[in-house]
């Protein structure tokens, strides 16, 4: 059990099975006496064939903080929470696939200010 207290809020859910889903969740976590705003962009890819039909997610996390404020333990707690969020959504996002997500690709960024994101569109593009 971690020693930080926070609650995640979903601020965006968009997409469809054919090209994937995007959820954006955010929270403010108190950690080591600091209030750290966190925003996670979670991309669910139900039809991505490159991984042999294994359900996959990509997560981009923004921490409104400096790198010195973020410890490896803290990021593990945050990733565990995001993993739990993904598990709670996998039956809905991966309908009919009857498989569980076991791979999450992630990127973590420390930023001065969490960006205000306005959803434009989703899709796929072949190159």
Q: What is the pLDDT of residues 104-114, one digit of tens each?
A: 899 999 999 99
- What pLDDT was estimated at residue 94? 82
Residue 22 maps to a domain = no
Would you say residue 53 lies in a domain?
A: no
Q: Residue 86 falls within a domain, yes or no?
A: yes
Residue 80 maps to a domain:
yes
Q: 54 falls in which pLDDT band (50, 70, 90)?
A: confident
Distance (Å, whole) CA 83 – CA 104: 8
Comparing 31 with 48, the larger pLDDT belongs to 31
Rounded Cα distance between 2 and 70, Å, is 14
Report the number of distinct structural domains present in the chain.
Answer: 1
Asked if the structure places residue 99 within a domain, the reply is yes
Tally of CB atoms within 10 A around 81: 20
List the domain range (segments joined by +) for residue 107: 30-38+63-112
- Residue 16 domain-assigned (yes or no): no
pLDDT digits (tens, 9 = 90+) for 32-51: 888 999 999 999 988 776 66
């Amino acid at each position: 059990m971690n020693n930080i207290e926070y609650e995640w809020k979903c601020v965006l859910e968009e997409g469809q099975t054919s090209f994937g889903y995007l959820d954006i969740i955010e929270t403010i976590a108190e950690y080591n006496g600091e209030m750290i705003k966190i925003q996670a962009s979670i991309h669910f890819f139900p039809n991505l064939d490159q991984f042999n039909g294994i359900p996959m997610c990509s997560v981009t996390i923004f921490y409104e903080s400096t790198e010195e404020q973020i410890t490896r333990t803290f990021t593990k707690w945050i990733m565990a929470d995001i993993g739990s969020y993904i598990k709670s959504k996998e039956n809905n996002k991966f309908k009919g696939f009857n498989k569980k997500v076991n791979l999450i690709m992630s990127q973590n960024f420390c930023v001065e200010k969490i960006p205000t994101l306005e959803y434009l569109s989703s899709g796929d593009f072949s190159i």
